[in-house]
Amino acid sequence: MKKNEIPYKIYLSEEEMPRSWYNVRADMKNKPAPLLNPQTFKPITEEELERVFCKDLVQQELNETDRHIPIPQEILDFYKMYRPAPLTRAYCLEKKLQTPAKIYYKFEGNNTSGSHKLNSAIAQAYYAKKQGLKGVTTETGAGQWGTALAMACAYLDLDCIVYQVKCSYEQKPFRREVIRTYGAQVIPSPSDTTSVGRKILQEFPGTGGSLGCAISEAVETAVSREGYRYVLGSVLSQVLLHQSIIGLEAKLAMDKYNIVPDIIIGCAGGGSNLGGLISPFMGEKLRGERDYRFIAVEPASCPSLTRGVFAYDYCDTGKVCPLQKMYTLGSGFMPSANHAGGLRYHGMSAILSQLYHDGYMEARSVEQTEVFQAAQLFARTEGTLPAPESSHAIKAAIDEALRCKETGEEKTILFGLTGTGYFDMKAYESFNNGTMTDYIPTDEEIKKGTDGIPRFEGNNF
Amino acid sequence: MKKNEIPYKIYLSEEEMPRSWYNVRADMKNKPAPLLNPQTFKPITEEELERVFCKDLVQQELNETDRHIPIPQEILDFYKMYRPAPLTRAYCLEKKLQTPAKIYYKFEGNNTSGSHKLNSAIAQAYYAKKQGLKGVTTETGAGQWGTALAMACAYLDLDCIVYQVKCSYEQKPFRREVIRTYGAQVIPSPSDTTSVGRKILQEFPGTGGSLGCAISEAVETAVSREGYRYVLGSVLSQVLLHQSIIGLEAKLAMDKYNIVPDIIIGCAGGGSNLGGLISPFMGEKLRGERDYRFIAVEPASCPSLTRGVFAYDYCDTGKVCPLQKMYTLGSGFMPSANHAGGLRYHGMSAILSQLYHDGYMEARSVEQTEVFQAAQLFARTEGTLPAPESSHAIKAAIDEALRCKETGEEKTILFGLTGTGYFDMKAYESFNNGTMTDYIPTDEEIKKGTDGIPRFEGNNF
């Protein structure tokens, strides 16, 4: 390496790793609106939240003032098993694109969960263990979050019950087996282990289930079993807090080499990765210290930021979870069946929604075949086979780099490579075979979804 | 981190990365016996080898004297995309086992091929490109080697044709799709693209194919097409040379912290990982500078070192490749159908065979259910879901660590974690369900296999 040359990968040493999470809400003038009780539409109380979530996590969920929250040593030790994640300079992609732009990505796929989800899973499992609980429950679709939680619970010797959407359970048996290898119980949802599951099975025998139903079963199990709580892998402000480790590491790695990104790009589903990646940079922008462009990239088939409304809505289709004020397509919105690329959540993190609403962030939507084209190009030049979710960010990063090629600007682009696509080969297969299609919801479909958002005092949109 | 404490993971910086491969043959008093022409049983000539393999690779295959062979800059650049691979201290496993032993592993699964195979794939593809060839052909079973080669060829813009054993092609579609995503052509073998394939299809319509047949098709395609050569992912001495990067990095990382391993353990199929990992340490032992214990771990169902004979045998079941002197079960030997754990090659690298024959290395065999038990324990404590192949080494490392617990010895153990098990979930599923079984071949089955080894002058065993 020549002097001052940027290496392909920048690793922090263990001493350099962040020891606190960063709470971006502390720097926001307009805080996210409070969560509402789904029955009363009144701000939810600490006590009500503690029936569902662990105490410490409720504190984190409600904490809008502490800028830095120390990471407990036990979590730091777990992080050391797979972190720091590398910040990688995409030299080969730059060369392929012949762009003057400098492209960096923060890679979070170097662990068996295959994504950044592990960062919050270990935190949530740790606080459950600390509270003396026996176990946690959750839902999972394709299985990344379920895998991450099972890994964290295996490490802490905590019971883990995962309700997996039945059609995923049956059609994607490999993630299920990973979860089982880590000792978690995987239950296809709807199931006869809960009253809500039994009711749905009676009404719709043979149904493949839905994420909404799986959430309802996981919550019911958590509140009805002694010593159990429910945990969630995205959307919540506590999750963004834990995921700030992504951005903090990226920023430290960049600072080491005096690299300042002009544009920071992340894919956006519920917002856990995007929020985590941009948080410390956003903090500088909110405090007026430095300006950055932030771009949220979402699938055209599930466009909550770009086509949704900013309103109070249920976080789950089952309407058992609190409401939060966010950009939403309506909790009944379901992306088209041909949608393969993840990021299928109807809403968006309250923090990110507020920041977007206040003009601190841009958003754009991309279609899935162009996303897989970007994924293929990335795989062939940079080696790593990306997750479909991550590939939304890749697509936008490539577009920005090509824009630099046109204008001759040497911009520095940072994007989040949230994970690997090793369990998404069915989607890659349809892309490889040329049978993948795109779908953009009609205005009518969007309207139908948002018409389901509850109308009540204070929900004017 | 406290001063002098060993971090969880030791990464080399780019400047510290090895710039030459290490050729252990230079330090061997008894060199591996020369390769033989499969028709004449005479030592094969350079010219004969060059019909099948690239020129530079033939030179490397025959080079017994140069201790260090510089790694071309283009390969170093590719290595930087996924190397250095971390050397990890297994703190959590040590704690779980309550052993005074210190356990380290060199992890080679941090890339999309999921294993160390990429180290040699990029080298072989590079020399093919350098020779001005259009493309390369190879065979693959489960697909790790095929994936690695496809990745390397995509990077270098080289055509890549992979003959995949038909039953794997059909039963394990996900690796096939990874290979296709990297732009390689995947052909189920036997196929109608070669005369040997057509002959087999005529004789055995509906056959699921075999690795032997796939090799024969790949070789036929390479020699009959203008501008193509055949490449192989294990067994050959050139492959061990490229894989020496594993051991060189491990040794540099250990030297940084003054760590000296007492025992070095690797799983053994064709020998590519084991040979690569131990090479630089073995060099010290051969030169009388330091003593180490080396342990090769093979499956009880395919026990070439522990139950095979040391003789000249065909490298492939199709008998089109050169013969080499090695520990072998006979080129017709097939592990039992219940065998899930990889490492199903009938023979062993000539270098490793000679070293084992000369008493520089130990070997042991392990059964697959105990291997998966070790894999599960490792996954739950250290996080990473290991490949079944790698888990053979994990099993032996755990056994040695438990022995230290009995004796109270604080030995330092290093093992090779060759890859991840993300595409092996069928095997994990049968383990999770308790339906996995073991099989140890009878003496009669071993005799039947070795009876097929050619009898000719100079092949006394």
Radius of gyration of the CA atoms of chain B, in A: 21
Which residues from chain B sit within 8 angstroms of residue A13, using beta carbons?
A: 1, 7
Least confident of A229-238, A287-296, B150-159, B164-173: B164-173
Give how far B118 is from chain A: nearest CA, Å: 10
- B274–chain A Cβ distance below 8 A for any pair: no
Taking an 8 Å cut-off on Cβ atoms, the answer to whether A383 and B82 are in contact is yes
pLDDT for A171: 82
Q: Is B181 on the interface with A (CB under 8 A)?
A: yes
CA distance B397 to B399: 5
* Residue contact B380–A422, C-beta within 8 A: no
Round to whole Å and give the CA distance between B231 and B220: 12
Whether residue B304 lies within 8 A of chain A, CB to CB, comes out as no
Query: Which residues are CB-neighbours of B361 under 8 A, at least 6 positions away?
Result: B278, B282, B294, B295, B296, B352, B355
Q: What is the mean pLDDT of residues A380-399?
A: 97
Which residues of chain A have a CB within 8 Å of the CB of B110? 110
pLDDT exceeds cutoff 90 at A210? no
Question: In angstroms, rounded to a whole number, what is the distance separating the alpha carbons of residues A19 and A75?
Answer: 10
- Closest approach of A6 to chain B, Cα-based (Å): 10
Q: Is B155 in the A-facing interface, judged by CB distances under 8 Å?
A: yes
- The tens digit of pLDDT for each residue in B248-291 reads 999 999 999 999 999 999 999 999 999 999 999 999 999 999 99
Question: How many Å lie between the alpha carbon of A220 and the closest alpha carbon of chain B?
Answer: 27
Instruction: Report the distance separating Cα A314 and Cα A312, nearest Å.
Output: 7
Interchain contact A181–B (C-beta under 8 A): yes
Q: Does A170 touch chain B (CB under 8 A)?
A: no
Question: What are the tokens at B30?
Answer: 């008894």
Q: What is the mean pLDDT of chain A?
A: 95
pLDDT at residue A1 in the model:
41
Q: Does A20 touch chain B (CB under 8 A)?
A: no
Verdict on whether the full-model pTM lies above 0.90: yes
Cβ neighbors of B455 (< 8 A, separation 6 or more) are none
**Per-residue model confidence (pLDDT) at position B179:** 97
Higher-pLDDT residue of A1 and A335 is A335
**Is B74 within 8 Å of chain A by CB?**
no
Chain A / chain B CB contacts < 8 angstroms: 116
Q: Which of B156, B177, B417, B420 to mutate to test the interface with A (most CBs of A within 10 A)?
A: B177
Minimum distance, in Å, between the CA of residue B261 and any CA atom of chain A: 21
Mutate to test the interface with A, among B181, B182, B424 (most CBs of A within 10 A): B181
Task: Please determine, for residue A332, whether its predicted confidence score (pLDDT) is greater than 90.
Answer: no
Give B4's pLDDT tier (boundaries 50, 70, 90). low
- Check A432 against B92: CB less than 8 A apart: no
Residue A174: closest C-alpha in chain B: B425
Q: How far is B17 from chain A (nearest CA, A)?
A: 10
Q: Is A376 on the interface with B (CB under 8 A)?
A: yes
Q: Which residues of B touch A114 (CB under 8 A)?
A: 422
Alpha-carbon span B223 to B211, nearest angstrom:
18
pLDDT above 90 for B42? yes
pLDDT digits (tens, 9 = 90+) for A94-111: 999 999 999 999 999 999
In the beta sheet, which residues pair with residue B364? B297
pLDDT digit string (tens) for A34-90?
Answer: 999 999 999 999 999 999 999 999 999 999 999 999 999 999 999 999 999 999 999
Percent of chain A scored above 70 by pLDDT? 99
Which of B82, B92, B178 lies closest to A425 in CB terms? Answer: B178
Q: What local confidence, expressed as pLDDT, does residue A387 receive?
A: 96
Question: What digits encode the pLDDT tens for the residues B294-328?
Answer: 999 999 999 999 999 999 999 887 788 899 999 99
